[in-house]
Chain A
Amino acid sequence: MKKKKYFGRAAMFIISAVFAFLFLMPTVLTITNSFMEQSEINANYGMIFSNITGDRGYIADKVTLKFIPDKVSLSQYITALIKSPDYLLKFWNSVILVVPIVFLQLGTAALASYGFTRWRGKFRSFMFFFYVILMLMPYQVTLVPNYLVSEWMGILNTRWSIIFPGMFAPFSVFLLTKSMRRIPASLIEAAKLDGASEWQIFTRVCLPQCRSALYSIAILVFIDYWNMVEQPIILLPDPAQQPLSVYLSQINAGEVGIAFAVATIYMIPTLLLFLHGEEYLVEGIAHQGSVKG
Chain B
Amino acid sequence: MSTNKDKTEKNERTLRERWHGLNYKTKDFIQSWMFSGPSVLGVSVFFILPFLVVVYYSVIKSPLNPEFVFLENFQNVIGNQAFKIAVKNTADFSIVAVPLAVILSLGLALMLEARIPLKSQFRTFFLSPMMVPVASVVLIWQVLFDRNGVLNEIMLTFGLDKIDWLKSEWAIGVIVVLYLWKNLGYNMILFMAALSNIPRELLEVADVEGASETYKFFSIKLRYLSPTVLFVTILSMINSFKVFREIYLLTGEYPVERLYMLQHFMNNTFEALDYQKLSAAAVILAIAMVIIIALLFKVEDSFGKDVEG
Contact = CB atoms under 8 A, between A and B. Distances in A.
Nearest to B52: A145
- Which of B139, B185, B230 has the most C-beta atoms of chain A within 10 angstroms of its own C-beta? B139
Interface string B131-153: 11111111111111010111001
Nearest to B122: A16
Contact of A285 (B51, B189, B234): B189
A263 B137 contact: yes
A9 B43 CA distance: 50
Given A136-B238, A143-B266, A149-B45, A290 B227 contact: yes
B13 interface: no
A210 to B, nearest CB: 14
A23 interface: yes
B114 to A, nearest CB: 6
Interface residues of B, number: 96
A247 to B, nearest CB: 8
Per DSSP, are chain A's interface residues mostly helix, strand or loop, or mixed?
Answer: helix
A226 to B, nearest CB: 6
A27 B129 contact: yes
Contacts of A29: 140, 143
Interface of B: 28, 31-40, 42-43, 45-51, 53-54, 108, 111-112, 114-118, 121-144, 146, 148-150, 153, 181, 184-186, 189-190, 192-194, 227-228, 230-231, 234, 238, 241-242, 244-245, 248-250, 252, 262-263, 266-267, 270, 278-279, 281-282, 285-286, 289-290, 293
Interface of A: 8-9, 12-13, 15-16, 19-20, 22-27, 29-30, 33, 45, 47-49, 62-63, 65, 108-109, 111-112, 114-116, 118-119, 124, 127, 130-131, 133-134, 136-149, 164-165, 167-168, 170, 173, 198, 202, 223, 226-227, 229-230, 233-234, 244-246, 248-249, 256, 259-260, 263-264, 266-267, 270-271, 273-274, 278, 281-282, 285-292
